[in-house]
Structure 1
Amino acid sequence: MTAEATIRTERKRRPRMAARLGRSDRSAIGTLFWEMDRVLLMMVMVLISIGLIAVAAASPAAAHRYSGGGTVFAPLHYFWRQLAWVIISFPVMIGVSMLPKVAARRFAMIGAGVFTLALALVPLIGIEVNGAMRWIGVGIAQFQPSEFLKPFFVVTLAWLLSLKAQDETLPVVPISAAALLLIAGLLMKQPDFGQTVMFGAIWMALLLLSGVSARLIGGVVGGGFAAIVGAYLFYPVATQRINNFLFSEGDTYQVDSAYATLTGGGLFGTGPGGGVAKYRLPEAHTDYIFSVIGEEFGLVACAVIALLYLAIVVRVFVRLLDEEDSFTLLAAAGLVTQFGVQALINMAVNLHLAPSKGMTLPFISYGGSSMLALAIGMGLLLAFTRRNPYLTRSPYVVKWSGK
């Protein structure tokens, strides 16, 4: 058979092969399958699976601690609730990931407005839990506005900063700073120092990625340092947290118990259900679930989880290397930065390397608001990192297909 005949035969076979592989399927599901970053989705699913195992391990300790006053929780009470939230959140994540980029941006900007308003309503109609008023609602319908606001704030901020590429005279940095100050003021009323730091870190990261001048970056860093010093001097919550961390003043039971639990299992842990220190650990199923993993599954398992978070962050940034649209670049980079920084802060608190902040470990800690908000954020990230496979063919394939 001649070379030309071989090429003609392959051209005839290619549509049939494409049909079998599904690339010719232009339905919403088919398009999503080929355009989505399936490796990123797989890593997220692994994190969710690890989270269910971890919550199952921490659930007996949490159920024991919160049983009382006529209420007795079953040992796996929190596991079953978390499983229900996963069942609800996963379709939400996939649904958001199917949005076109323009629709995803509009969805996020509307969400930013709605949840900023909800954040402002917390002091008026909020519910106090553990000395802080951060929740709205009753019973199982409670939600934490700040958790949902984070991914929406990232995308809205990315859109605002991307406008500078179109018109450099627009005062996008002052406007973004004003939005940050508004949100920070609302958060510090709750009080929620940890989330305030998180929003500030997101803002600074996006400023850096947007290509502002070195002088402005220096001013922002200096202003951030001054804000932390000011919070330490005049904001009692920050003063207490920082003093507890630096000088071991006041009640350090939580962080001390977390570190002892984390290291109590050695390299390979005591085995599932074999942990004992977790029963003395406050919030074992939420803020300090990383310590429960350390006790029952070992420091090796903790290291694997940390590497998995790092792999997700690196994966997204590598995928963005050839991205030309400034909004898409800033939105995706900001979302994965928020995700990575939140994981880093939680693990650092458990390792006694940072003050306690009451921040969940993404997709692993128990919590309905956290799980649903993270699903929305990851759905937005998957939407902004989608790629058309027909636009990324190699030169050989393009030539071979006759184009």
Structure 2
Amino acid sequence: MLFRPSTRSAGKKAPPPNWEPSADKQRVGTMDLWTAGAAFCLLIIGLVMVYSASAPIALRNFGNASHYALRNGIFSLLGLIGLVLISRQSITSIRRAGQWGFWIIIMLLVVTLIPGVGLEGGGARRWINIGFATIQPSEPYKVILALYMAHILALNPARSRYFFAGIVPLFMLFGMGAALLLAEPDFGATMISAAIVFGIIFVSGIPLSWIIGLVVAAVPLAAAGVIMAPYRFRRVTSFLDPWDDPLDSDFQLVQSLLSFGNGGYTGTGLGQGQQKQFYLPESHTDFIFAVIGEELGLFWILLIILLFAVLIWRALHIARMADDRFVRLASTGLAVLLGAQSVANMGVVMGLLPPKGLTLPLVSYGGTSIIVTLGAIGLLLAFSRTLPVSDKPGFSFNKTGFSFKRPFSSRSS
């Protein structure tokens, strides 16, 4: 096994690692209600808005306005089943899945690059056709990366104190996946993955001076990656001045900004948006946030931002309150994933960040994205089961039925 801690006792066989939290620290039962509730609300909003945003293009391409909405519903159902199953797993099972899952996803990323196997779209080769559906390996890679990095740093906590022997090998692992993502190319997923790694090693106790040095080293590398790829450079220039070429390179961003302008405070009404009528490309995927702004207005925009803030807050709360080091690190990684991707998507749609081709978690259409994100929520719910009951509102399913703990119930009966 990679990165197994060494034993100092010569001639003695090391005992198997005990990854399970001790019985007095692990609370099996209640799961965090805030996390589940916020995720469910975002999912419902996504189901409704995918139908509204995709109806025109679905009617034109398939003769059925519900085509994408029905598929999105199936993906969501599969994701919810996965959420329930994952939320019931032990920490030991999750750590083992992160170990072998990382290398499986790496192999899938390699397969994606094989001509004739990987599917190409929009100038990138990011998908694999499995017959009845297509999968995008970069989506599960981000979650598995958080689990695997957390596992390695939890297995040997001293690793964060040694730069060349501890931190550098982690960045070599990340670099392997990043190289495959950039070869697709998928610059957005690479940046999100980098944020996950930085978040985890920061929480692991790495000296702040190392963090500053790594960031200083990463900035010119990212800049070089943008400059060396003409299409990325055009995205940056269009972001800086979206009205410079509104009919070509800046067309999508301009249409997105017009969507928000049309919606104003109250919106045009559900299903009444005009920009989705073949003006705004990717209206049901990457730019669904603009359709929400046009049809539902400012209040719903702020509500969605609030729901994502709740998800991030609860993930960080789980990380802060957990006794198990793996749970702390993995929860931090998932918080960074949800936070960075949602902020990146909304920032792009509102013209605050350069385009990156990222979906809005739980809201945008996309089978792999929805299933994987719900799986990540399931992981957070599984992690929340290790916290003391007083640290979160929650619910559980057990042999005696359904139990519920109110968010602000008194600790004394």
Pick which of 152-161 and 282-291 moved more.
Answer: 152-161
TM-score if structure 2 supplies the norm length? 0.82
Give the direction of change, closer, same or farther, for the CA distance of 1:275–1:100 in structure 2 (3 Å limit).
same
Between Structure 1 and Structure 2, the one with more strand by share is 2
1:82 and 2:72 aligned: yes
Residue of structure 2 in register with 1:183 after alignment: 177
Residue of structure 2 in register with 1:18 after alignment: none
Check conservation: 1:332, 1:385, Cα contact below 8 A: no
SS of match in other structure, 2:99? helix
Question: Deviation at 1:196?
Answer: 1.1
Pick aligned residue for 2:134 from 132, 142, 148: 142
- The one-letter code sitting in structure 1 at the alignment partner of 2:334 is L
Question: Deviation at 1:391?
Answer: 8.7
Identity of matched residues, %: 32
Pick aligned residue for 1:52 from 40, 47, 53: 47
Check conservation: 2:234, 2:249, Cα contact below 8 A: no
- The one-letter code sitting in structure 1 at the alignment partner of 2:111 is L
Question: Deviation at 1:238?
Answer: 2.5
TM-score if structure 1 supplies the norm length? 0.84
1:203 and 2:162 aligned: no
Structural RMSD (CA): 2.3
Check conservation: 1:62, 1:284, Cα contact below 8 A: no
C-alpha separation in 1, matches of 2:171 and 2:145 = 12
Tell me which of the two structures has the higher relative contact order, counting C-alpha pairs closer than 8 angstroms and 6 or more residues apart.
2
C-alpha separation in 2, matches of 1:220 and 1:184 = 16
Question: Deviation at 1:301?
Answer: 0.4
User: How many pairs were matched up?
Assistant: 360
Residue of structure 1 in register with 2:370 after alignment: 371
1:63 and 2:63 aligned: no
C-alpha separation in 2, matches of 1:388 and 1:330 = 15
Question: Deviation at 1:282?
Answer: 0.5
1:237 and 2:231 aligned: yes
Give runs of aligned pairs for residues 389-400 of structure 1, distance below 5 A.
none
Question: Deviation at 1:166?
Answer: 4.5
Check conservation: 2:113, 2:184, Cα contact below 8 A: yes
1:99 and 2:97 aligned: no
SS of match in other structure, 1:133? strand
Pick which of 281-290 and 167-176 moved more.
Answer: 167-176
C-alpha separation in 2, matches of 1:89 and 1:202 = 22
Pick aligned residue for 1:120 from 110, 124, 130: 110
Residue of structure 2 in register with 1:356 after alignment: 355
C-alpha separation in 2, matches of 1:103 and 1:223 = 36
SS of match in other structure, 2:135? coil
C-alpha separation in 2, matches of 1:379 and 1:172 = 30
Residue of structure 2 in register with 1:14 after alignment: none
Check conservation: 2:30, 2:389, Cα contact below 8 A: no
C-alpha separation in 2, matches of 1:264 and 1:220 = 43
Residue of structure 1 in register with 2:341 after alignment: 342
Gaps of 5+ in 1: 1-30, 394-399
Runs of 4+ in structure 1 deviating by more than 4 angstroms, as ranges, are 166-170, 247-250, 388-393
- The one-letter code sitting in structure 2 at the alignment partner of 1:80 is L
Question: Deviation at 1:57?
Answer: 1.2
Question: Deviation at 1:121?
Answer: 1.3
Residue of structure 2 in register with 1:39 after alignment: 34
Residue of structure 2 in register with 1:397 after alignment: none
Question: Deviation at 1:376?
Answer: 1.7
SS of match in other structure, 1:302? helix
- The one-letter code sitting in structure 2 at the alignment partner of 1:178 is M
Check conservation: 2:267, 2:298, Cα contact below 8 A: yes
C-alpha separation in 2, matches of 1:342 and 1:201 = 10
C-alpha separation in 2, matches of 1:247 and 1:43 = 35
C-alpha separation in 2, matches of 1:163 and 1:92 = 27
C-alpha separation in 2, matches of 1:155 and 1:61 = 39
C-alpha separation in 2, matches of 1:297 and 1:190 = 35
Residue of structure 2 in register with 1:273 after alignment: 271
1:227 and 2:221 aligned: yes
